[in-house]
């Protein structure tokens, strides 16, 4: 069974950093384009970034709201994807999901809270 599992969320102060992980089972992430989507408490869904597949060099793209602060990376040996979040702001507080849009795979999400 295909599964995506996010981890790494937690409470962080404004200006701090956090790294989220997305571990896959039942699928090979290196073959797939993968995305990150977030949802602030009580709000809608926001696409924040994409990593192309290995054949396309894992080239990333980012939403304007996180460009220059967030970095997506991969580790083929761990069949995983990461979201490095820097210079965090209170408005980054959200549940973060890793997603494979074409296949409809979503993780369960991990909560990031940015607060002093």
Partner 1 sequence: DTQMTQSPSSLSASVGDRVTITCQASQDITNFLNWYQQKPGKAPKLVIYDASNLETGVPSRFSGSGSGTDFTFTISSLQSEDIATYYCLQYDNLPFAFGPGTKVDLK
Site string for partner 1, 74-113 (x = CB under 8 A): -----------------------x---xx-x-xxxx----
Is there a contact between 6 and 22 (Cβ–Cβ < 8 Å)? yes
CB nearer to partner 1: pick between 13 and 108: 108
Q: Which long-range contacts (CB under 8 A, 24 or more apart) does 52-60 make?
A: 54/30
| DSSP secondary structure letter of residue 87 | S
If one asks whether residue 64 binds partner 1 (CB under 8 A), the answer comes out as: yes
Question: Can you give the length of the chain in residues?
Answer: 116
Q: Which residues bind partner 1 (CB under 8 A)?
A: 35, 37, 44-47, 50, 61-64, 97, 101-102, 104, 106-109
């Amino acid at each position: 069974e295909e599964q995506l599992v996010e981890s790494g969320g937690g409470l962080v102060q404004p200006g701090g950093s956090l790294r989220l992980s997305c571990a896959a089972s039942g699928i090979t992430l290196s073959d797939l384009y993968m995305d990150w989507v977030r949802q602030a408490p009580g709000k809608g869904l926001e696409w924040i970034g994409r990593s192309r597949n290995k054949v396309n060099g894992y080239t990333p793209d980012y939403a304007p709201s996180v460009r220059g602060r967030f970095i997506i990376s991969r580790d083929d040996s761990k069949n995983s994807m990461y979201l490095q979040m820097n210079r965090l702001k209170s408005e980054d507080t959200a549940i973060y999901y890793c997603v494979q849009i074409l296949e409809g795979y979503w993780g369960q999400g991990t909560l990031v809270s940015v607060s002093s």
